[in-house]
Structure 1
Amino acid sequence: MRTLTILILLSLPALASADTLTFSSGPEQVPLVELYTSQGCSSCPPADALLSRLADEPGLFHDFIPVAFHVDYWDYLGWQDPYARPAFSQRQRDYARTPAVGSVYTPGWVVAGREWRGYFRHPAQWRSQLQHPTVGTLSATLNAAHLRVQFSGELPAHGQLHLAWLGNGLSTPVAGGENGGRTLRNDFVVLYSQALPFDGETSLTLPPVPQRDQQRTALVLWVSPTDSPIPIQATGGYLPDH
């Protein structure tokens, strides 16, 4: 396997040079629990609250990884979600082009690569959707801003490595739209994401942690085919508090 080196000439002040973090999935799949949400959607805050509660669940980052993708297609209702990105809406549309997801809506859940509609009747049963097949170990070592990633399992001929900074403890006074007048709390929000070609091993320099007044930051990595959003394996964890 060749090593792909990508240098982004930015610093990562959140980590001191002496800090070394290691993340590892183990050989069984660590599924993403993906929530497609919007601060402009009146039915989304209860789903956001459920995702927030996963911070206290056993197995966080080891048995499952929560990720909130804020979509932009409700921004026209009177409030522009500050965390929404067109790319996140596109990711949901890409899912809807697969047999795994039926349509695009919020709040929309994708657990272990498959749509979960059970949220609307049985939200406490989210764990029943988790799957843990043996797929290979995704491991990452972070030293200051330098990240090395390896995957021991099988990848399609064209694979991708996704990296995302997540923010927890975000608070937003909403001035308009369907949630106007409310202060919304959001966790596991994707503040930055990037996808890179990946053949099983890579080294790169990370961009800086976005500073959005989050109380805590996590780094999450997952691998997938280039032509599908469905994750093969994932790993990640919180950055140390400083």
Structure 2
Amino acid sequence: MNLLLPVLSLALLLSGPIALGAELLRFSSGAAPTPVLELFTSQGCSSCPPADRWLSRLREHPQLWQGLIPLAFHVDYWDRLGWPDPFANPAHSARQRGYARSSASRSVYTPGFILAGREWRGWFRGEPLDLPSGAEVGTLTLRLDGDSLRLAFDASATAPAGLIAHVARLGFGLHTRVSRGENAGSLLTHDFVVLSLQQIAARTPNRWITRLPHEPRGERQAIVAWLSAPGDLAPYQAVGGWLPRQRPGAR
């Protein structure tokens, strides 16, 4: 009998993200809330490229996915300046305005950062990213089989009623040559770009099912999901991880 095989199997089970066969992926959060860092940005904003480059460096953050989930929401309200951002979405602008209405942010501007549901201005002062910690709320698990996605939340505390799930597909290594507007002549590169975003109500308590839309853009992609209480934009718990690299010609 080969005693090494059970040891290897146990190591794989304890390693966090799990790939079973060619299709099935599973990612699980810890019990404490995973901090989500949201950047509201635009290719039509001349002060945004430095923030975009800083966010891209978080690809190498030692706590990526397990202790930090960055998201880049491209807004559309600067498109009128002469360059329509190809990743902009009115829903992203509405999300940022929602933070301002709830007083989580003082105003609507780019680049603008929200960390764990609250405005974060440390980037402008050159401060290190100080990740918040919170009491345990429960574990969020994401399972992806092809384009079929399931979320399950096992609460370790009294969770808000009617939790809503959000699922985002992120693109990395996205390049755009800008020909007009404030960044005319620049070649911009983006990571953590929200390419698609779904909001899902639970079918049964703390269980959500959806299909992930096809979105081919990017040299690499990741999947992120987070929960929020009704009427509250702040992520309650979040989970994410890398998607397998697509084979050339694969769809």
TM-score, structure 2 normalization: 0.85
**Residue in 2 that maps onto 1:12:** none
User: How far apart in 1 are the matches of 2:30 and 2:122?
Assistant: 28
Amino acid aligned to 1:47: A
Ranges in structure 2 where 5+ consecutive residues have no aligned partner: 1-18
**Residue in 2 that maps onto 1:207:** 213
User: How far apart in 2 are the matches of 1:16 and 1:31?
Assistant: 27
**Residue in 1 that maps onto 2:167:** 163
Q: 1:89 to 1:158 in 2, by over 3 A?
A: same
Greater Rg over alpha carbons, structure: 2
Question: Is it true that 1:227 corresponds to 2:231 in the alignment?
Answer: yes
User: How far apart in 2 are the matches of 1:44 and 1:180?
Assistant: 13
CA contact under 8 A between 2:35 and 2:131: conserved in structure 1? no
User: How far apart in 2 are the matches of 1:31 and 1:68?
Assistant: 14
Displacement of 1:16 after TM fit?
A: 11
TM-score, structure 1 normalization: 0.88
Out of 193, 198, 209, the residue aligned to residue 197 of structure 2 is 193
Q: 1:16 to 1:157 in 2, by over 3 A?
A: closer
CA contact under 8 A between 1:31 and 1:132: conserved in structure 2? no
Ranges in structure 1 where 5+ consecutive residues have no aligned partner: 1-14
Displacement of 1:204 after TM fit?
A: 2.6
Out of 45, 56, 66, the residue aligned to residue 52 of structure 1 is 56
Out of 99, 111, 133, the residue aligned to residue 95 of structure 1 is 99
* Partner deviation per Cα, 1:48-72 (whole Å, 9 max, x = no partner): 0110000011010000101000000
Displacement of 1:18 after TM fit?
A: 3.6
**Residue in 2 that maps onto 1:108:** 112
Out of 230, 239, 242, the residue aligned to residue 243 of structure 2 is 239
User: How far apart in 1 are the matches of 2:145 and 2:133?
Assistant: 31
* Partner deviation per Cα, 1:50-97 (whole Å, 9 max, x = no partner): 100000110100001010000000000010000000000000001111
CA contact under 8 A between 2:137 and 2:159: conserved in structure 1? no
**CA-atom RMSD in angstroms:** 1.7
Displacement of 1:129 after TM fit?
A: 4.1
Question: Is it true that 1:36 corresponds to 2:62 in the alignment?
Answer: no
Amino acid aligned to 2:169: W
Structure 1 runs of 4+ off > 6 angstroms? none
Displacement of 1:144 after TM fit?
A: 1.4
**Residue in 2 that maps onto 1:141:** 143
Displacement of 1:17 after TM fit?
A: 8.0
Displacement of 1:146 after TM fit?
A: 1.7
User: How far apart in 2 are the matches of 1:80 and 1:32?
Assistant: 27
Task: Report sequence identity in percent.
Answer: 50
Higher relative contact order (CA 8 A, sep 6+): 1
User: How far apart in 2 are the matches of 1:132 and 1:187?
Assistant: 27
User: How far apart in 1 are the matches of 2:139 and 2:160?
Assistant: 15
Amino acid aligned to 1:94: G
